[in-house]
C-alpha cells in the first residue's frame, strides 16, 4: 500500500542552524502539507502546497520557513534559523486531488533544537 515517507526520523540541531526536513508524498497525489505537533499538544497546520506553489499558510509559517518540491517526488520543509520553540514533530501529508479531501500522513520527523 502506498505511503508517505519522511526523513530523517529524528534531527538534532543547534539553535540558529538551518534544517531541511524531507518527505516523499504518495506518488499520484496532488496536494501536499506540513503540520507540526509540539509534544503533548494538538496537530497544527503549517502550509499547503499545490501546483508548485503555496496555497495556504498559517501564522506559524513565518519567513523562517519555506517549502519546495525540487523534483517530481520530494517535498521539503526548510527552517532557516531554528529556535528552541521549533522543537516538535513535523508531519508531511498528501491527498489525492480535487474532490478527495482525506489526507495521508507520514511517520514524522522529530526535530530537537538545543
Partner 1 sequence: QKEVEQDPGPLSVPEGAIVSLNCTYSNSAFQYFMWYRQYSRKGPELLMYTYSSGNKEDGRFTAQVDKSSKYISLFIRDSQPSDSATYLCAMLPYGQNFVFGPGTRLSVLP
Contact positions vs partner 1 (CB under 8 A): 4, 6, 33, 41-45, 48, 56, 89, 91, 101-108, 110
Cβ 52 to partner 1 shortest distance, Å: 18
Residue whose C-alpha cell reads 502506498 in the numeric block? 2
Are 75 and 69 in contact by the 8 Å Cβ rule? The answer is yes
Nearer to partner 1 by C-beta: 57 or 69?
Answer: 57
Rounded distance between C-alpha atoms, residue 110 and residue 19, angstroms: 12
Rounded distance between C-alpha atoms, residue 45 and residue 42, angstroms: 10
Nearer to partner 1 by C-beta: 74 or 81?
Answer: 74
Nearer to partner 1 by C-beta: 8 or 16?
Answer: 8
Amino acid at each position: 500500500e502506498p505511503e508517505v515517507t519522511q526523513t530523517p526520523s529524528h534531527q538534532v540541531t543547534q539553535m540558529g542552524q538551518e534544517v531541511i526536513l524531507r518527505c516523499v508524498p504518495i506518488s499520484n497525489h496532488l496536494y501536499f502539507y506540513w503540520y507540526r505537533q509540539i509534544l503533548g499538544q494538538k496537530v497544527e497546520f503549517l502550509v499547503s502546497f499545490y501546483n508548485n506553489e503555496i496555497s495556504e499558510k498559517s501564522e506559524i509559517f513565518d519567513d523562517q520557513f519555506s517549502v519546495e518540491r525540487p523534483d517530481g517526488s520530494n517535498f521539503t520543509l526548510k527552517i532557516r534559523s531554528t529556535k528552541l520553540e521549533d522543537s516538535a514533530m513535523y508531519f508531511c501529508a498528501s491527498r489525492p486531488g480535487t474532490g478527495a479531501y482525506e489526507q495521508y500522513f507520514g511517520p514524522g520527523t522529530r526535530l530537537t533544537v538545543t
